[in-house]
Amino acid sequence: MQSMNSDPHEILGVSPGAAPAELKRAYRRLAMRWHPDRSDHPQATERFKQINAAYEQLLAVDAEDDEEAEAPQAEPDESAARAADIRLNLEVSLEEAASGCRKTIHYSRGKACPTCEGTGEHGMSRTRFCTACHGSGRVHDAKRNLVRCEECGGRGLFTERICKDCGGSGRELADVSLEIRVPHGMLPGDELRLAGQGEPGDGEILAGDLYLTIIIGSHPLYQLRGRDLHFRMPVSALAMMAGGDIDLPSLAGVICYSLEAGTAERRQLRLAGKGYPGRGKSYAGDLVVDLEPVFPSKLNARQRKLLLQANAALLDDADVSLPEIAAWRNAHCIE
């Protein structure tokens, strides 16, 4: 029988404060090893009784703690033991991130081995040396005397039934396919948290969460800076001088912009709120367009005639503003 001085935590090999699920796993592992029907060790029956008594004692302590607790319970995700989280990257296009989308992701997570039901032991037994006494069955005590090894009961070895499918870990990988919704307006580096989709729980241990870090793929036209969208737009130099309507691409569709007449040089347009969409308390960004003047590389006869006519009209305007030059031209018969 279990002595009054025996520590149930030491018997089960768990630390004080261990969760019920951890106690259960330790109990099942030791019970399978020391069950009299499975072990031929001379002290198997006594050890099995100790294991049962220790397990029942710790379960009773947990039950008393639950009954005596007066403080309100915290949220499960704050107080309960949790399995490991899984973190993955999720790449989406700029358009998908801006408008939101649905994606199907594929990943792997652990599950209990179906062969051994998570115990790690199944099938034929095998023998391994005791690591405490290195197979001798004897260890030195505090006075350097040789005494029987308590870990293996002096046998120097253990008989185990390692599950061949999981190698004794009790776990195996399972492929998972999951359809998720990506909300609109997420930026690179933002995270999606999918509760309970991480490593699975076990008993009192809650399942972990799945975290997806958003990665937005490069775009052939736009550059995303914060929530502003930048791109370069080639425009005819004549259109920049004459002014008029030009069509600008945006994520929401084509924007007709009225371009003011001016010089044929690079200029920047900023359309407030027409860039990347906002999210939560963040406002939509701007659409920033760098206009690049394009000059004709070669003129045909018709284009040259039209430009000469435009040039003559400009010279007439110059004569009006500078009559001295006009008089000089007339005096020298310069057309």
DSSP structural state of residue 202:
B
Total domains in the chain come to: 3
Closest C-alpha to 45, from 101, 1, 108, 96:
1
- Tell me, yes or no, whether 307 and 282 share the same domain: no
> Residue 170 domain-assigned?
no
Beta strands at 267-271 and 253-259: parallel, antiparallel or unpaired: unpaired
> Residue 216 domain-assigned?
no
- Tell me, yes or no, whether 227 and 289 share the same domain: yes
Residue 16: CATH number of its domain: 1.10.287.110
> Residue 248 domain-assigned?
yes
Q: Which residues contact 196 (CB under 8 A, 6 or more apart)?
A: 206, 207, 208, 209
Provide the residue range defining the domain that includes 319: 301-331
What is the tens place of the pLDDT at every residue in 175-211? 999 999 999 999 999 999 999 999 888 777 888 999 9
- Tell me, yes or no, whether 235 and 271 share the same domain: yes
> Residue 79 domain-assigned?
no
Residue 254: CATH number of its domain: 2.60.260.20
> Residue 76 domain-assigned?
no
First to last CA, the chain: 125
Helices (H) and strands (E) in the chain, counts: 8, 15
Checking if the pLDDT of 4 tops 50, the result is no
* 3-class SS of residue 114: coil
pLDDT in the model for residue 139: 85
Arithmetic mean of pLDDT, 265-283: 93
> Residue 204 domain-assigned?
no
pLDDT in the model for residue 124: 55
> Residue 310 domain-assigned?
yes
> Residue 161 domain-assigned?
no
Beta strands at 228-236 and 244-250: parallel, antiparallel or unpaired: unpaired
The pLDDT-based confidence of 137 (bands split at 50, 70, 90) is: confident
Element at 156 (helix H, strand E): none
**What pTM was computed for the model?**
0.57
DSSP structural state of residue 127:
E
Arithmetic mean of pLDDT, 198-226: 90
pLDDT in the model for residue 73: 43
